[in-house]
Amino acid sequence: MLEQSGNFTAGVGRQYIGEIGKTDNGVVVVTTHLYDGKKSLPLDIELYQPSRALESGKKDKEFIKKPRDG
């Protein structure tokens, strides 16, 4: 995780950062890996955009919340 300050870097803001287990200023990325039981191969990486970084906020089609378990 890359921590950033300021308002000019895409995706930076106060949000829950899973790697540190709390809300802080930072950037969140979502990754997809293929794992064969021995090695992990990264397949995709995408910047998570908090709603405040999107033009239409939570109504923007790019805004996706983490699915809830259960």
As for how many domains the chain has, the answer is 1
Evaluate whether 27 touches 2 at the Cβ level (below 8 Å).
yes
Q: 36 is in which domain, residue-wise?
A: 13-59
- pLDDT digit string, tens, across residues 8-17: 666 677 888 8
* 35 compared with 1, residue with greater pLDDT: 35
pTM exceeding the 0.75 threshold for the entire prediction: no
Residue at token pair 């997809």: 32
Whether 39 is covered by a domain: the verdict is yes
Distance CA 17, CA 66 (A): 13
Whether 7 is covered by a domain: the verdict is no
